[in-house]
């Protein structure tokens, strides 16, 4: 997709703030600091529309970005951030679960994981949960630029095995730094929002 327009719409804390124009939504889930906001910026070729930070826990609400007036990226707060209180964590879980289970305009979840390390217990739980509810999903393994090329296949294998990704499930190695995987991910998103 050629992105001609990208705007921040709202930082939503609950369903009454979600947009009502029924455009298709692509949501990003993943560990805090894994690179979700950076991935959005790379997809839309904007430096810092989705706010990124080296401090984990930057994205606290569901941030909506409208692209070309045709779709939204929905940037979730990251999970697994130790400094978040139990109460906050429970609130996060409720908000995200409700969204994932009930949002009719949701077309695809990008489960963003770190290609450098084996997925965490939280990553595995999220993957299982999305599968269980039959929510269309693509695992995007980011920060590929931090791994020497020759070792990429090994890292890809470990991530796939740890999550139990089956042949036929969508999996895309990615780098927000280099743009690796961008075209492939756009193709997938475009086919999902057309369906």
Enumerate binding residues for ligand GTP (CB under 6 A).
Answer: 30, 32-38, 52-54, 56-59, 77-78, 142-143, 145-146, 175-177
Choices 10-18, 52-60, 79-87, 138-146 (CB under 5 A): range interacting with Mg ion? 52-60
112: left (phi over 0), alpha (psi -120 to 50) or beta: beta
Which option in Mg ion, ligand GTP, none does residue 142 bind, with CB closer than 5 to 8 A by kind? ligand GTP
Which residue number, 52 or 109, has a Cβ lying nearer to ligand GTP?
52
Taking the least distance from each CB to Mg ion, the nearer of 32 and 165 is 32
Among 192, 183, 128, 195, which residue's Cα sits nearest to residue 3? 183
* Residue 119 interacting partner from Mg ion, ligand GTP, none (CB closer than 5 to 8 Å by kind): none
Q: Could you tell which of Mg ion, ligand GTP, none binds residue 181, using a CB distance below 5 to 8 A set by kind?
A: none
CB of 28 to ligand GTP, least distance (A): 8
State the burial class of residue 9 (Cβ atoms within 10 Å of its Cβ: 0-12, 13-18, 19+).
middle
The set of residues, in sequence order, having a beta carbon less than 8 Å from that of 24 and lying 6+ positions away, is: 70, 71, 72, 105, 107, 192, 193
The β-bridge partners of 7 are: 66
φ/ψ of 80, rounded to 5, equals 75, 20
Q: Is 124 left (phi over 0), alpha (psi -120 to 50) or beta?
A: alpha
Binding residue for Mg ion, selected from 25, 37, 67, 84, defined by CB under 5 A: 37
CB 72, min distance to ligand GTP, A: 16
Does residue number 59 form part of the binding site for Mg ion (CB under 5 A)?
yes
Closer to Mg ion at the Cβ: 50 or 165? 50
Return d(Cα 146, Cα 115) in angstroms, integer: 9
Nearer to ligand GTP, 71 or 113 (CB): 113
What residue ranges bind Mg ion (CB under 5 A)?
Answer: 37, 58-59
């Amino acid at each position: 997709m050629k992105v001609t327009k990208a705007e921040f719409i709202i930082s939503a804390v609950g369903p009454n703030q979600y947009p009502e124009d029924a455009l298709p939504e692509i949501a990003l889930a993943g560990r805090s600091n894994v690179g979700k906001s950076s991935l959005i910026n790379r997809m839309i070729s904007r430096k810092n529309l989705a706010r990124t930070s080296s401090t984990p826990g930057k994205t606290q609400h569901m941030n909506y970005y409208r692209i070309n007036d045709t779709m939204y990226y929905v940037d979730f707060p990251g999970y697994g951030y130790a400094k978040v209180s139990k109460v906050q964590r429970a609130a996060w879980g409720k908000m995200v679960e409700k969204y994932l289970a009930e949002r009719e305009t949701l077309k695809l979840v990008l489960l963003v994981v770190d290609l450098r390390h084996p997925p965490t217990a939280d990553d595995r739980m999220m993957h299982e949960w999305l599968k269980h509810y039959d929510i269309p999903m693509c695992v995007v393994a980011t920060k590929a630029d931090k791994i020497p090329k020759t070792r990429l296949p090994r890292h890809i294998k470990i991530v796939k095995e740890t999550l139990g990704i089956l042949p036929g499930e969508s999996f895309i190695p990615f780098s927000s730094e280099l743009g690796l995987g961008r075209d492939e991910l756009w193709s997938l998103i475009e086919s999902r929002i057309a369906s």
